[in-house]
Structure 1
């Protein structure tokens, strides 16, 4: 018991004297004997307790218990108060931090909401601009298709006009050349023009004259043309020769002879003389050709084809 000193005096027994002394301790009373410690007999313990009761020990013990309980309760209340203060402090600290975080979160939320609204507005504007651009693009595409169609039509018309122009130009040029050829003594037969010489030359000289006129010695490749050449009733050089290889007759354009109008027993050649050039000789007959020496002089026919 706290701060309580009890001294118990008992009559000294016949044995060696014993006295009791309270040891200041919170929970127990120690009995000490300076010389020896003897076990107290029950009757003496009873006598001691009786003495304590007579001295008001029971009341003192009750008061001490209440005091101890009050101290313990006070300590518990103090500990509880400290705990509550600590919790309150922590709560206030956490509450302040939480409030600060809430403010920050609310600010962030407001900013994000504002940014979201701005982005939504920008998105709406961009969508509107996109729709406008899409409409413009569609209109431009439609106009482009129309222009492309018009361009193709104009190109076709231009090509047709160009062809007509070229045809007209060619016809005009042909007419001019025809007029020029006619004025120079050329005659026309089936779109070919023929020049009948007024003098006589060798086969090669005759051909050179034709080449200078932009023509060549006549090539007869149809029955109608054969009949036409006979109408001049002259000994006439034609563009047929076997100079390159004897017996292999070719026209001046390099094509081989396929259809011929040789007179009877022609070509035959004369011993000791080369007869490598062809002429129209028997002009009264359909088969009027004859092979002759190229150095002899004859009239000639130039042929020009207008392209």
Structure 2
């Protein structure tokens, strides 16, 4: 359609140039009976007709362009809707994963929390170390054995209160061992003034307020003291 419009415009310009040529060649006789006048009128009629066609085509082109714009807009809207649907689907999947992670990482009593191939349970019921040890065994685990800085940092990041862990020197004073496998410590997190090595302080806890510290650290404490505890168990492989 645009090509037709362009062609008619060219024809109109050509007709106009032809009329100027006629006028320049013989413009002395301008009476109604003059062949010159009639020829000019014919050219004017033809030019007017062509101009009308140009206007009509121009209007049609304008409508066509608007329709094209509408189609472009519709296509853009469709594309945006598709992108939004994709984003919403990804967000739903992400929310599903987050909900699963929250369930797995919940620190509510009775919930096992997964970290680095082990499950942990934080219990904030205040009991003695021996009761905590027995409770963990009944749950299929043991009082937590902290073997690395990463594990230690994670435990501190999620615990809500001071808790017992499995380290103790009950059998031999100063010989700290884990209740889970009776092995010694390869990693420790004692503050500068710990362990205090008092004869009655044979069990280890994560301590903060009780020890006047701003962050959790290990502390040897009387096994008869009462506080929460953290159990640990390895994942069962099928």
Q: TM-score, normalised by structure 1?
A: 0.38
Higher RCO (Cα < 8 Å, 6 or more apart): 2
Whichever of the two has the greater Rg, that structure is 1
Bigger share in strand: 2
